[in-house]
Structure 1
């Protein structure tokens, strides 16, 4: 399926001097790199393709994959789709009024030249940050890639388009509604859940901080986690 989607974008013409690398092989090289993190030298040995050629293939094919899949799987959702996500969070994870779970992933890199400590993270490695929101089935519904490894999750979130979209309610999040069995709380907004690195907002829930918590807070943190 993926090959059918991107083959027109990544196919090359044969020349009088040599046959081109097929779209199937170009896709296989890129997917192997993305799946394993193998070095170009390792891929060079496995596929019998030069390292410089592999580096160009990975960039080109990855971009083609993104351009083809993003409109299909990461487009703005309708109110019905958000409602379905919320319903599945309640059924699968027993967390009502939830429309996503957010966290950051540090993708380890070689430190760029003259970058100082910008990419140096708290784990002692150099990285860029992938910030992602997933649905109850672990599918990505929003991503933001490329922030410095030295940035905190909360700091990255404060600069994301997603934050502005949540505050302005411009992405179709369902309106507030009562929690099951708790009508006395009134209408409660739909939220994205994150860990303690994120701020507490109307549309962003984080755990109760600290260790010496009341039983009710511990129960909530368990369900939140």
Structure 2
């Protein structure tokens, strides 16, 4: 098999071969380059090696498992084109593509049973305890959010992926636990679908509606005799349901401090989902731009990065925080690959409204309030009044 002269010098001049040994001596620089420490690189390699090991042939030596993993991680960390990576690593462009997609498949296959296993009843109970203690929202088992992932229009797809914003997208839907890890994800929804229908038709959305996610039965709110369901918390992109809380609409907030307090407490409990997507975008900078990949390969990349996100959150939180601080970026930038879902309205059942009302009353009661909430609401009102004065001035 013919090899280009440039690529034939891979072992001598390829970026991986002359840089990797030097990076091993500096954990922070290694993490900036590969998004994990040397130890975790080795741990991940051991997990996926059975799927990545290749044998030398008569025509050329095989690309090692280490370099295959490094090639994939470098693509995810930078979002550089396959052409750019093929030149720097001195691999063929087709080889780089195949390596990235195969490695993403292996990462999902080997890591998802460990770091993204479907929660069981005891896992939901643990998540609820953490939301209650860390985010002051009892009975909450996750913050739900979704993003449109900007992609090229798939061939022969018509308008399936063309969304209301005016570009083609597929949707990543996720439930995030109190520690910013993805508890459940679903990727591949059509961009054209309304955001409420994306949730109701995705895999875990269906199971959520059918009650087959092993979420525990209703639980008494702390300090009361009031039995309440376990709930997810979301923003205005999601419908109000008995087990899914969304904010009160703005038109209901005028001169109603209790509803403002509920919205503040819900917004605070939603921080993990907002931050999880922010971390995903900052660590894996391929999300800084449109994903120039086939739709099926977009799914592979997204699944792999979500798994790696959990892998890093469990194992390397200190290094992760340092990289996020150093590589600041706006997670809502116009040209980024992750875009917010659209806010929706719509009718909802009386039981859903009653559950939200009870949470509102609880958060304003001695048993459920936190000492700073009124101050936050008051400060928000003062900022609004000051802004209005400036506008009128």
**TM-score, structure 1 as length reference:** 0.92
Runs of 4+ in structure 1 deviating by more than 6 angstroms, as ranges, are none
Match of 2:132 among 90, 101, 119: 90
More displaced 10-residue stretch of structure 1: 187-196 or 75-84: 75-84
Q: Structure 1: any 5+ residue segments left out of the alignment?
A: none
Q: Does 1:66 align with 2:108?
A: yes
The aligned runs of 1:173-212 (5 Å cut-off) are 173-183=215-225, 186-212=226-252
Q: Tell which deviates more after alignment, 161-170 or 13-22.
A: 161-170
- Cα 1:146–1:163 change in 2 (3 A) is closer
> What does residue 160 of structure 1 align with?
202
Distance 1:168 1:129 in 2: 22
Deviation at 1:163, TM superposition (A): 2.8
Any gaps of 5 or more consecutive residues in structure 2? 1-42, 268-393
**Is the 8 Å Cα contact of residues 86 and 93 (structure 2) preserved in structure 1?**
yes
Between the aligned partners of 1:77 and 1:149, the Cα distance in structure 2 is 27
**Equivalent residues in 2 for 1:53-132 (5 A)?**
53-132=95-174
Cα offset, 1:152, TM superposition = 2.9
- Deviation per residue, 1:88-143 (Å, 9 max, x gap): 01111111101111111222212223433322234433221111111111111111
Describe the superposition over 1:46-105 as per-residue Cα deviations: whole angstroms up to 9, x where unpaired: 211111111111111101110111111222323222111000011111111011111112
- The counterpart of 2:58, out of the listed 12, 16, 40, is 16
**In 1, distance between residues paired with 2:84 and 2:164?**
29
Q: Which has the higher contact order (CA 8 A, sep 6+)?
A: 2
Secondary structure of 2:228's match?
Answer: coil
Shift of 1:174: 1.8
| Alpha-carbon displacement from aligned partner over 1:134-163 (angstroms, at most 9, x marks no partner) | 111111111111112222321111112323
For the residues of structure 1 that align with 2:50 and 2:147, how far apart are their CA atoms?
Answer: 32
Task: Show the counterpart of 1:172.
Answer: 214
Do 2:131 and 2:138's aligned partners in 1 also have CA atoms closer than 8 Å? yes
Q: Deviations over 1:161-184 (max 9, x none)?
A: 32332234322212211222343x
- CA distance, structure 2, for counterparts of residue 164 and residue 111 of structure 1: 27
Q: Deviations over 1:14-49 (max 9, x none)?
A: 101101111111111111222222211121122111
Aligned equivalents of 1:66 and 1:206: distance in 2? 31
TM-score between both structures, scaled by the size of structure 2? 0.54
Aligned with 1:38 (options 69, 75, 80): 80
Count of residue pairs the alignment pairs up: 223
Q: CA deviation at 1:221?
A: 1.0
Q: Is the 8 A contact 1:152 1:197 kept in 2?
A: no
Q: More displaced, 16-25 or 124-133? A: 124-133
1:7 aligns with 2:57: no
2:262 counterpart of 1:220: yes
SS of aligned partner of 2:62: coil
Distance 2:125 2:258 in 1: 27
Report the 3-state secondary structure (helix = DSSP H, G, I; strand = E; otherwise coil) of the residue aligned with 1:8: helix
